[in-house]
Amino acid sequence: MIKLSSVRINLKHLHYFNEVAREGSLTGAARRLHLAPQTLSSQVRELERSLGRTLLERSGRRLVLTPDGEVARDYAESIFALGTELGRVMAGRAEPRRLGLRLGVTDSVPKLLTARVLAPLLKRHRDRIELDCVEGTVTGLLGRLAARQLDAVLADQPVPPSLARSMRGRLLLKSGMSFVASPQVRLALSGNFPACLEGAPLIAGSAGSPLSIATDAWLAQRGVTPRVVARCDDSALTKVLAQRGFGIACVPTVIESDVTKQFGLRRVGRVQELSELLYLIHPAGRHVHSLLEEIEADAAGGAP
């Protein structure tokens, strides 16, 4: 028996519910558990009464999970998996559990920014964490998140309105922007910033990205027209092109020092009116992965 606040959860009842959820029928689950369907039904109803929620509902000839049932099933599977793992660890047949996190990162998010956000978590759980990072487009990664192939997505844009009911997004970071260039390109510029950008080679973001649109508007408001030599979605390619002297790049100010050191670049100017945003997006209506809560706490506390 587990007591959470005023709620008492009987693990036997939870196990029976999990089997019914897996089978999709009382008859099939009862056969597996060697119980009468009536007995199994009463045990599941007892769990629902203790939680004060309806977990299963009939759809035709099958029992399907309600939204509360989905949450309960997720917890049940985690609880019983941990119980099995504990037995193996105590018997000396397994190592203590590692902390797994499946994280999608949109390809437009700078790698150094991702590393900065994840560094405190990786340092804290250095010997236990298993971080599986995949990169892709926002649409592709949110699709995988909806299919439960990922635990969360790091993106430079909020949850689309069409997914607002099924996903939640937390703003982790907001940074001004810095224009940086190779020493040769920097020396060739004349005048103060941003006037020095007039006619200067610029490596810009893709034409349709929110940040690129905002940057173009900011430059137009100041009557400055750089010469766009390339537009890149890939932030790493942008920095490499800047390193090789092809033009000026725009990077989040929060990672400016890392970028200038790593790529041998120099600052041209900073703009607070332009912002790089980083969101952590995860499914709604389910318990939040404990490691995601740590990432949010680190960001809120300004962890370096």
Instruction: List, for residues 99-125, the tens digit of each pLDDT value.
Output: 788 999 998 898 899 999 999 999 988
Segment 24-33 shows an average pLDDT of 88
175-278 has the same fold as 2-90: no
Q: What is the pLDDT of residues 154-208, one digit of tens each?
A: 999 999 999 988 899 999 999 999 999 999 999 999 999 999 999 999 999 888 7
Assign 89 a pLDDT band (cuts: 50, 70, 90): low
Residue 108's pLDDT is: 84
The mean predicted confidence, pLDDT, of the chain is: 88
- Residues 6 or more apart whose CB falls under 8 angstroms from that of 121 comprise 129, 291, 294, 295, 298
CATH number of the 99-167+286-300 domain: 3.40.190.10
Residue 289's pLDDT is: 76
pTM over 0.85: no
Q: What is the pLDDT of residues 140-155, one digit of tens each?
A: 999 999 888 899 999 9
The C-alpha atoms of residue 28 and residue 26 are separated, in whole angstroms, by 6
Domain at 175-278, CATH class = alpha beta
Helices H, strands E: what count in the chain?
Answer: 11, 12
- Domain ranges for the chain: 2-90, 99-167+286-300, 175-278
- Residues 6 or more apart whose CB falls under 8 angstroms from that of 301 comprise none
What whole-number percentage of the chain has pLDDT above 90? 52
CATH topology of domain 2-90: Arc Repressor Mutant, subunit A (1.10.10)
pLDDT of 66 > 60? The answer is yes
What whole-number percentage of the chain has pLDDT above 70? 92
Segment 258-267 shows an average pLDDT of 96
What residues does 282 pair with on adjacent strands?
Answer: 168
Residue carrying the six token digits 């390619």 = 237
